[in-house]
Amino acid sequence: MLSDIEIAQQNEMEKIQVIADKCGLTPDDIEQYGHYKAKISFDAIRRLESKPDGKLVLVTAITPTPAGEGKSTTSIGLVQGLQKIGKNAIATLREPSLGPVFGIKGGAAGGGYAQVVPMDDINLHFTGDMHAITAANNLLSAMIDNHIHQGNELQIDLRQLSWTRVLDMNDRALRNVTVALGGKVCGFPREDHFMITVASEIMAILCLAKDLEDLKERFGRIVIGCNLAGEPVYVHQLGCQGAMALLMKDAIKPNLVQTLEHTPAIVHGGPFANIAHGCNSIVATKLGLKLGDIVVTEAGFGADLGAEKFLDIKCRYGDIFPDTIVIVATLRALKMHGGVPKQELSTENVEAVTKGFSNLQKAIENMRYFNVPVLVAINKFATDTDAEIAELTRLCDEFGVPVELNECWEKGGEGGTDMAKKVVELLEGPKPTPKFVYDLEDSLEEKVNKIVKTIYGGDGVIFTDKAKKQIKQLADWGLDRLPVCMAKTQYSLSDNPALLGAPTGFTITVSDIRVANGAGFIVCRTGDVMVMPGLPKRPAALNMDIEADGTIKGLF
């Protein structure tokens, strides 16, 4: 089998106008970025507003192994499969972060014969959205330090700033820094932190904003910390929301690309799935619903995190709701949940599959809670055995959930036509009525409790004293009735990564609470959440190269 970049480079792409034409976009509707990428204009988006919506398919997954279960690959394979059976399908996906490309990951635009292309560009600078976010985020940081330096009229407390700088790079040396050293001309020294760009609230805002105006208003509402009197300080008090929006004027336009089989794909926005909601932009998903009869989108991490937030945050703000949910499962992950150690996941173990099914079952129950029809999609790996696949299929049948194996990674759309047909069947049912885990009027404690009990299967939540104080502060500020964004390990339904399968009898401990007031949610952190990754002993960057003729190596 060829590497992802080799497959991508051998693939003959269509010019992006051809893809645009396929979804009814005129040459004036798009702004090309090279021959194979384009931004879609807001004029086009507004023109299409009156068109009826297509159907929405959400792709999520069981609790994943560290390698991930192939949600992007399955999503891309699914639209390729839908196209193969004659459907007008479109994918709306997250855009990858540049930093991890140079670390372990190497790339994040699907895999094998289910990729979005040009994969090199999508994995590198793409259309510059990440860089725009970095600039807007860091302009705000510079404006804050400058405000303090130039007299600090707002009395900003430099000990209590929650706004941090960002960079789109895996760089552990930037996690904790002191800035403004060097004496009077360099400002007031203080502690600061760099997060990776996708963890910026700017990214979450981009993904939840309706349009440029909404984006600017949300920027204005961002709380950057508090003043010496303990009151919140908003960006609109600093007055730079206009300049920040100006920096984002192109980033807010969705990006059009294609799959290896020339299916249209909108790749736009990609916030973290821990301290943010982990889904591509509302603008992109809603546009997809105007352009395609079936839209396939994905949410980060497992169904307990990405999908819950997709439904409770993104769907609520975007006034959308999925018509079908696809849960990606791998035999490897099931065996892991059945107790098999990482190095033995390639060995046949039917018993472990049976045992590990509990995790998938909980994911199915969770998604069915929302009254949406569910399909289990087995993402086939070369090491899966017939006996294991038969056992998983039997378990699904027994549980009464449709299941379909797919070989999209190896065979592209051809390997996903059976899955596509099943999805089409499920889409023929009645439109689900939107349902959420909690009400907006619930208190913060109630909201988290409902998520823990309904989705995680736990007994309840414990707030540390620090978290309780923070809740009190948010209540005092009148900012405590927003949706909740849980920042929790993706490796367990609980907040303990060692608890596999479908644990019960546990509680969740919330140790830190921050308002992302511009994005419009409250982040509840359980345990340490890594917001700035580091590079490994041997970074992927060392394998990367570009030859004089443009041939790229080491992106995978």
In the annotation, is 551 catalytic? no
In the annotation, is 272 catalytic? no
Q: Measured in whole angstroms, how far is the alpha carbon of residue 405 from the centre of its chain? A: 24
124 binds a second copy (CB under 8 A): yes
**Any binding-site annotation on 71?**
yes
Catalytic residue among 60, 63, 73, 74: 73
**Any binding-site annotation on 67?**
yes
Among 13, 104, 529, 544, binds a second copy (CB under 8 A): 544
Q: Which of residues 442-501 bind a second copy (CB under 8 A)?
A: none
Sign, Cα dihedral of 243, 244, 245, 250: positive
In the annotation, is 487 catalytic? no
State the nearest-atom distance from the C-beta of 11 to a second copy, in Å: 18
Q: Which stretch binds a second copy (CB under 8 A): 165-173, 257-265, 324-332, 410-418?
A: 165-173
In the annotation, is 310 catalytic? no
* Contact predicate 66/408, CB 8 Å: no
Please give the structure tokens belonging to residue 395: 């378990």
State the nearest-atom distance from the C-beta of 385 to a second copy, in Å: 38
* Contact predicate 302/60, CB 8 Å: yes
How many C-beta atoms lie closer than 10 Å to residue 35's C-beta?
Answer: 12
Catalytic residue among 55, 94, 422, 447: 94
545 binds a second copy (CB under 8 A): yes
Burial of 547 from C-beta contacts in 10 A (0-12 / 13-18 / 19+)? exposed
Among 13, 24, 47, 175, binds a second copy (CB under 8 A): 175
In the annotation, is 347 catalytic? no
- The strand ranges marked E within 240-299 are 255-259, 264-267, 294-298
Name the amino acid, one letter, at 125.
Answer: H
Among 250, 442, 445, 446, binds a second copy (CB under 8 A): 250
Residues 205 and 140: their CA atoms lie apart, in Å, by 14
**Any binding-site annotation on 380?**
no
DSSP H helices in 370-443: 386-399, 408-411, 417-427
3-state secondary structure of 258: strand
Catalytic residue among 310, 370, 409, 556: 409
* Contact predicate 306/93, CB 8 Å: no
Kind and range of the H or E run holding 349: none
239 binds a second copy (CB under 8 A): yes
Tokens 């190095």, residue?
Answer: 343
Residues 188 and 529: their CA atoms lie apart, in Å, by 28
Residue with smaller CB distance to a second copy, 267 or 336 = 267
x/- contact string, 506-535, with a second copy (CB under 8 A)? ----------------------------xx
178 binds a second copy (CB under 8 A): yes
Residues 304 and 61: their CA atoms lie apart, in Å, by 9
Catalytic residue among 42, 381, 399, 477: 381
153 binds a second copy (CB under 8 A): no
Q: Which stretch binds a second copy (CB under 8 A): 420-428, 434-442, 463-471, 539-547?
A: 539-547
In the annotation, is 163 catalytic? no
**Any binding-site annotation on 458?**
no
Residues 308 and 319: their CA atoms lie apart, in Å, by 15
537 binds a second copy (CB under 8 A): yes
Residue with smaller CB distance to a second copy, 185 or 498 = 185
Using CB under 8 A as the binding criterion, the count of chain residues that bind a second copy stands at 74
Catalytic residue among 37, 84, 87, 105: 105
**Any binding-site annotation on 49?**
no
Please give the structure tokens belonging to residue 330: 């791998």
Residue with smaller CB distance to a second copy, 138 or 258 = 138
State the nearest-atom distance from the C-beta of 48 to a second copy, in Å: 18
Catalytic residue among 301, 357, 521, 556: 301
Residues 378 and 418: their CA atoms lie apart, in Å, by 12
Residues 125 and 246: their CA atoms lie apart, in Å, by 19
**Any binding-site annotation on 100?**
no
Q: Which residues contact 273 (CB under 8 A, 6 or more apart)?
A: 299, 300, 301, 305, 306, 309, 490
In the annotation, is 506 catalytic? no
Sign, Cα dihedral of 27, 29, 31, 34: negative
x/- contact string, 180-219, with a second copy (CB under 8 A)? xxx--xxx----x------------------xxx--x---
In the annotation, is 273 catalytic? yes
Q: Which of residues 335-374 bind a second copy (CB under 8 A)?
A: none
Residue with smaller CB distance to a second copy, 180 or 479 = 180
* Contact predicate 358/392, CB 8 Å: no
Q: Which residues contact 158 (CB under 8 A, 6 or more apart)?
A: 148, 188, 190
Please give the structure tokens belonging to residue 134: 């970095």
245 binds a second copy (CB under 8 A): yes
Q: Which of residues 414-443 bind a second copy (CB under 8 A)?
A: none
Say how many residues make up the chain.
556
Q: Which of residues 51-110 bind a second copy (CB under 8 A)?
A: 98, 102
Q: Which stretch binds a second copy (CB under 8 A): 146-154, 280-288, 303-311, 400-408?
A: 146-154
Residue with smaller CB distance to a second copy, 168 or 298 = 168
Residue with smaller CB distance to a second copy, 138 or 280 = 138
How many C-beta atoms lie closer than 10 Å to residue 274's C-beta?
Answer: 25
Positions at the binding site: 65-72
Positions at the binding site for ATP: 65-72
Catalytic residues: 71, 73, 94, 105, 273, 301, 381, 409
